[in-house]
């Protein structure tokens, strides 16, 4: 958003280690855009991973519930 407020008359610097290096506005916008795309992709990937883990967890809870019911039935008969 901040880069959208700038024009070619503004000077932009990029931090490379301990040094600030002059950078073109278009290059800075492209770099920030790529980083945002990457971060968005990572967030989406982690959300999908969390959904899969929640699904597996629910399956395990259901299996545990069935086993507990079977155990209670077996103890009731014994």
The pLDDT score that the predictor gives to residue 50 is 98
Three-state secondary-structure class, residue 10: coil
Q: Tokens standing for 10?
A: 């503004």
Residue 26's domain comprises 2-76
pTM of the model: 0.67
The number of distinct structural domains making up the chain is 1
| Cα dihedral across residues 62, 64, 68, 73: positive or negative | positive
How far is C-alpha 27 from the geometric centre of its chain's CA atoms?
25
Contact 45, 39 (CB under 8 A): no
Each residue's pLDDT tens digit, 21-44: 999 999 999 999 999 999 999 999
- Residue 77 clears pLDDT 80, i.e. is over it: no
The pLDDT score that the predictor gives to residue 28 is 94
């Amino acid at each position: 958003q901040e880069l959208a407020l700038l024009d070619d008359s503004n000077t932009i610097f990029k931090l490379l280690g301990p040094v600030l290096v002059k950078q073109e506005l278009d290059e800075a916008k492209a770099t920030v855009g790529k980083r945002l795309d990457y971060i968005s992709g990572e967030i989406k990937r982690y959300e999908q991973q969390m959904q899969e883990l929640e699904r597996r967890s629910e399956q395990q809870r259901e299996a545990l519930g069935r086993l507990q019911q079977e155990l209670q039935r077996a103890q009731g008969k014994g």
